[in-house]
Chains A and B, each alone.
Chain A
Amino acid sequence: MRRANAQIACGLAFAGNPQHRVQPAAKPKTVAAMPERIPLLKARLLVENGDHVKIGTPLYEDKENTDIVFASPGAGKIKKIVYGPRRVIREIVIQLDDEETAETFTPYPPKELLRLSPGALKEILLKGGVWPVIRDIVYRKVADPAQTPAAVWMATDNQDPFHPPAETWLSSPEDRRFFQTGRQALEILCSRVFFCRCTDFPPLDPEIEKIVTHRISGGYPREDPAVIHYHSKTGPDQNLAWFVSGQDVRLLGEFLESGRFPVRRTVAVSGIPVEGRYVQTRIGTPLDTLAEPGKANGHRWVVGGLFRGYSSVPESHLSLYETALGLIEESGRRELLGFMRPGYNKPTCSRTFLSVFNPSPLPVDADMHGSKRACVNCGNCTRACPVQILPQFTYKCILAGEIEEALSHGMLDCVECGLCSYVCPSKIELCRTFQETKQAYFRQRI
């Protein structure tokens, strides 16, 4: 495989890294499904307020492909359905029963699994509502079951600060068995299943290490499946690929072996105001069960990593794909003579602060650190881009309405890592522009 060579080696050592210990969380009173957070999904509700659902009951489906349904992460009564602007379904909140029941499907232990045809397996995964954990590498949306991908990537490590490392959710022999079953299922769907791991992460069980196909080094976002796929594909026929995050591979395996929709999630809770730790909780848990809301006044709640994640509020819930909650300061304080401070503890990818000599993790906050200006063509975004796009030029193409030109710049290769927006001294929302343009392009294409 080719070497990924982003030129900016961002010293992204952020303070607030969780301590390495896993705690089980108390059972929450509610859980929620969050259709708004599934990229490019137009959801149609399959339940109403007051309905009683089991774990694994379909809650909503994809309007464009009604085969794709999304399973309920809890059993109980639908307490409320929260809508956002333009009637987007934000949350389907379920008041949990004391004794939860689950929908049961036919279990497929590994032996029987291997006898399944790809079509039959797809059917099982779609029916069980676990198909959405398989995602498209280009648009990062739910994979289209009608397509045949060139490769399926499994990624256990996520360096977007801060995600739980594999050993926190892959520690017991049972976990590893589920993981292997999940991998076998993916191998039925596609003959080329790849498994990438970071060399900087501690090795896992030898049985797991044996199936690793790609090893990469370097910081975020070098470990992202889309980045590795970009650097290993050899032709246009390989553009279509899928990826499954590590915890979801385990989830697939547990679903197939047990015949029930599994809801376990190991979540990293990080940030300076909270005691950073890894919590064993469940899909759709309320965020205030992960961190004390009172302690975190004046802080931004970021669900997902600090780069890819989105802002949320303590009353909200954990969405299907996310396994991290980060709290970062949001003070809005205007620093006196801020732009001429030596900045020994200001995080930056540039060499313009004394923090280049500071090896310790630096505190981060949810501040723009400057106001918006026109692009001065400094090229920091180009140096940061992990997939060799020239963001400053691609961005100008998009603004000029030259979508064809933007496409030939490689806009669809964009992995939405957010580094271009991060490094931009003019504070231009490059990543958001690419994301929105990719999504608009996808919607118009079909």
Chain B
Amino acid sequence: MGWIEKKLRKVFDAPRKHFESGGRLEKLSPLFEAIEDVFFFPAGATKSSPMVRDSLDLKRFMSFVLVALIPPLLFGIFNTGYQSRLAADMSTALLPAFATGLTIVLPIIVVSYTVGLFWELLFAAIRKHPISEGFLVTGLLFPLTLPPTIPLWQVAAGITFGVVIGKEVFGGTGRNLFNPALTARAFVFFAYPAQMSGNSVWVAVQQKAAGSVDAVTGATPLAVTELQAPFNSIAEMLTDQGYTFSTLFFGNYPGSIGGTSAFCCTIGALLLILLGIASYRTVLGTIIGLLATGFLLNWLATPQSPPWFSVSPFYHLAAGGFAFGAAYMATDPVTAPGTDSAKWIYGFFIGALTVLIRVVNPAFPEGVMLAILFMNMFSPLLEYTEIRLRFKKRIPHV
């Protein structure tokens, strides 16, 4: 290890003078620092009390979100390849499917990171602040919410909107009002509905010989509603389409890259909660809100009401991007409220709104993205209310 460290040290020390103030590449110093900090942990002495500081820093904090994203990412890559090969009538064995998935998913992630990093660096250079680690999370979250058939230029346009309008115009990570990854997705969703509406399945089919990518159409589980289902028969209809509960839960169906498997998202959410990165309050809140609203709609369901009124709320839990949103998007500490009770309410309404948008609004088969963005907007209000209530318990000083 010793000599690796020395060699690496040299790699960074040699070009350092160009990045220092007055150097040729002075503007790129945030990039240089960011890369150096990854390899060599920054060591700055404490200047004021307390003289000791916790070993946890934001880089590690954010890195654990990336670690928690590994299960849905790996499954997403496999599933993309699997669905693609299935549609193209090829062998769906694990390794070939994974390889095919990789060729589809990797370019999306690379484009998302590269374009995102460009904007991040541009703002860091102009504003003279270091590159924030939050970007690493956004750059991976965004591709995982996209369909595998997305054109790469739309990925670039989306992440640009997410980073610039969703985050940097507010001042960067920590100051943004909306989750940047979801802002990016919302942009793509509304700007290019043909590719993103979620009404038809997204299978990136790889032709056997040519290797070109094409799409096949069909209905996503949440769009089965358009098939004019008779009363109380959604579950059977879903099963007829091949969407049994366990398929929905394990995620082996066509959908957005990382969002199909509620199972993988549960693993990620448990890891985040266990490590104390995500708040269990938000996650439980979303589940309670979703189930409560689901059962309420069941109770209100009549033969005249839209067919999704009568579906079991547990289908809502497993279907679509709800699990992904609840595990990784709703728990983003920046855009979620910072106080405990407000987190419950915030989570509850995300769950409730998800069901309402899915069931009542015929224009949107999927609702979790809009629900989270909507509650992002309300989280300062929730915080404010809780802080007011807490004041009342305090003994005032003046």
Chain B residues with Cβ below 8 Å from A334 are: 40-43
Count the B residues whose beta carbon is within 8 Å of the partner chain — how many?
Answer: 58
Q: Which of A41-49, A283-291, A365-373 contacts B (4 or more CB under 8 A)?
A: A365-373
From A418, which residue of chain B is reached at the shortest CB distance? B50
- The residue of chain A having its C-beta at the shortest distance from the C-beta of B398 within the complex is A407
Q: Which of B50, B52, B132, B387 contacts A373 (CB 8 A)?
A: B132
Task: Check A348 against B1 for contact (C-beta < 8 Å).
Answer: no
| A369 and B45 in contact, given A377-B174, A378-B61, A382-B338 (Cβ under 8 angstroms) | no
| A390 CB-CB contact with B under 8 Å | yes
Q: Which residues of A contact B56 (CB under 8 A)?
A: 348-350, 352-353, 369-370, 423, 425
Min CB–CB distance B345 → chain A (angstroms): 15
| Chain A, range 413-434, C-beta contacts under 8 Å to B | 413, 418-419, 421-427, 429, 431-432
Asked if B172 CB lies within 8 Å of chain A CBs, one says yes
Among listed A24-32, A63-71, A336-344, interface-contacting one: A336-344
**Nearest Cβ in chain A — how far from B99, in angstroms?**
27
How many Å from the CB of A415 to the closest CB on chain B? 13
Contacts of B1 in A (CB 8 A): 336
Contacts of A424 on B, CB cut-off 8 Å? 54
Whether B53 contacts A343 by the Cβ 8 Å rule is no
Complex Cα spacing A374 to B174, Å: 6
Tell me the minimal C-beta distance from A49 to chain B in angstroms.
Answer: 31
A138 shortest CB reach to chain B, Å: 8
DSSP class of A's interface residues: helix, strand, loop or mixed? Answer: loop
Q: Does B212 contact A (CB under 8 A)?
A: no
On chain A, the residues within 8 Å of B130 by CB distance are 371, 373
Residue of A nearest to B274 (CB): A351
Q: Which of B38, B46, B390 contacts A368 (CB 8 A)?
A: B46
Closest residue of A by beta carbon distance from B171: A374
Residues of A within 8 A of B59 (CB): 339, 370
Closest beta carbon of chain A to B16's beta carbon, Å: 13
> Are A339 and B63 in touch, CB under 8 angstroms?
yes
Interface string of B337-356 (1 = CB under 8 A from A): 01100000000000000000
- Residues in chain B near residue A367, CB distance under 8 A: 43-46, 53
B residues in contact with A377, CB < 8 Å: 174, 333-334, 336, 338
**Are B53 and A421 neighbours in the complex by a CB distance under 8 Å?**
yes
CB contact under 8 A between A302 and B51, given known A350-B276, A367-B43: yes
User: Are A393 and B383 in contact, with the CB atoms below 8 A?
Assistant: yes
Chain A, 394-445, CB within 8 A of any chain B CB: 407-410, 412-413, 418-419, 421-427, 429, 431-432
Which of A349, A422, A425: most chain B CB closer than 10 A?
A425
Of A343, A347, A351, A366, the contact of B51 (CB 8 Å cutoff)? A366
CB-based nearest A residue for B397 = A412
Is B20 close to A, CB under 8 A? no
Residue of B5, B38, B60 most packed against chain A (CB within 10 A): B60
Contact A371 B45, CB 8 Å, known A377-B334, A378-B61, A421-B50 = no
| A352→B275 contact, CB < 8 A | yes
* A365-B338 Cα distance, complex, nearest whole Å: 30
Q: Write out the residue numbers on chain B whose beta carbons fall within 8 Å of the beta carbon of A105.
A: none
Chain B residues near A390: list those with CB within 8 A.
338-339, 387, 390
**Please, which residues of chain A bring their CB within 8 A of the CB of B133?**
373
Q: Given A351-B275, A353-B56, A366-B52, verify A371-B338 contact (CB < 8 Å).
A: no
> A330 to chain B: closest CB distance in Å?
6
Task: Assess A408 versus B48: contact at CB under 8 Å? Given A369-B54, A370-B57, A376-B174.
Answer: no
B-side contacts of A350, CB under 8 Å: 54, 56, 275-276
Asked if B39 lies at the interface with its beta carbon under 8 angstroms from chain A, I say yes
CA distance A337 to B41 in the complex (A): 6
Q: Are A432 and B391 in contact (CB under 8 A)?
A: no
B54 touches A347 (CB 8 A): yes
Indicate whether A364 reaches chain B with its CB closer than 8 angstroms: yes
A370 & B58 in contact (Cβ 8 Å cutoff): yes
* Interface 0/1 of A299-312, CB less than 8 Å to B: 01010001111110
Instruction: Report the bound CA distance from A48 to B156 in whole Å.
Output: 72
Nearest CB in chain B: distance from A234 CB, A: 8
Contact among B8, B57, B398 with A339 in the assembled complex (CB-CB below 8 Å): B57
Q: Which residues of B contact A348 (CB under 8 A)?
A: 54-56
Contact assessment for B339 and A376 in the assembled complex, using a CB-CB cutoff below 8 Å = no
Q: Which residues of chain A are near B383, meaning CB under 8 Å?
A: 393
Residue of A nearest to B5 (CB): A336
Whole-angstrom distance between the Cβ of A184 and the nearest chain B Cβ: 30
Q: How far is A307 from B398 in the complex, measured between Cα atoms in Å?
A: 28
Cβ contact within 8 Å between A422 and B54: yes
Q: Is the CB of B54 within 8 A of A374?
A: no
With the chains together, A412 CA to B394 CA distance in Å? 11
B58–A352 CB distance below 8 A = no
Residue B49 interfacial (CB < 8 Å): yes
Residue contact B52 to A425, C-beta cutoff 8 Å: no
Residues on the A chain within 8 Å of B390, using CB: 388, 390
A239 proximal to B (CB < 8 A): yes
Residues of B within 8 A of A238 (CB): 395
Residues of B within 8 A of A421 (CB): 49-50, 53
| Residue contacts A-B, CB under 8 angstroms, 24 given | A236-B395, A307-B51, A310-B51, A332-B43, A333-B43, A335-B43, A337-B39, A338-B41, A351-B276, A366-B52, A369-B54, A371-B42, A373-B173, A376-B173, A393-B338, A393-B383, A407-B398, A408-B391, A408-B396, A422-B52, A422-B53, A425-B61, A426-B58, A427-B57
Give the A-binding residues of B (Cβ under 8 A).
1, 4-5, 8, 37-46, 48-61, 63-64, 130, 132-134, 171-175, 274-277, 279, 333-334, 336, 338-339, 383, 387, 390-391, 394-398
Closest 3 CB pairs of A and B: A338-B41, A370-B57, A374-B174
Contacts A239-B397, A369-B56 known; list 5 others, CB within 8 Å.
A368-B44, A376-B134, A378-B338, A393-B383, A412-B397
